[in-house]
């Protein structure tokens, strides 16, 4: 049963035009443009100790990887995919994330 569903989904996904899709990778180098600069910054969350793809530790949720961010400095929020398969948006100023 699961195999039939997978085959149907694969067919459906192939019908979506390439210009309407975006490839997403959770590892490797990711670049973002800083709004204060026209230069590209290799995945750094501005004015914090964090960067995209970095492993972090949270007291309650455990270990995870930073996938995305919004804002900068004390107003920055990071999206973390925890090893428990839970994804959470956390305020950098309050989450007490530790670099691993």
List pLDDT tens digits, range 58-99.
999 999 999 999 989 889 999 999 998 889 999 999 999 999
Beta strands of the chain (E only): which ranges? 32-33, 40-41, 55-58, 62-70, 77-82, 87-91, 98-99
Q: Indicate the pTM of the whole model.
A: 0.60
Residue ranges and CATH numbers for the domains of the chain are 24-99 (2.40.10)
Whether the predicted pLDDT of 15 surpasses 60? yes
Token pair in block for residue 57: 């530790």
């Amino acid at each position: 049963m699961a195999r039939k569903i997978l085959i149907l989904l694969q067919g459906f996904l192939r019908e979506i035009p390439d210009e309407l899709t975006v490839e997403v990778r959770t590892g490797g180098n990711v670049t973002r443009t800083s709004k204060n600069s026209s230069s590209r910054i290799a995945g750094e969350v501005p004015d914090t100790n964090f960067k995209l793809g970095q492993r972090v530790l949270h007291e309650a949720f455990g270990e995870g990887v930073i996938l995305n961010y919004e804002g900068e400095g004390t107003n920055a929020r990071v999206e973390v995919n925890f090893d428990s398969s839970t994804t959470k948006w956390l305020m950098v100023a309050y989450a007490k994330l530790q670099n691993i």
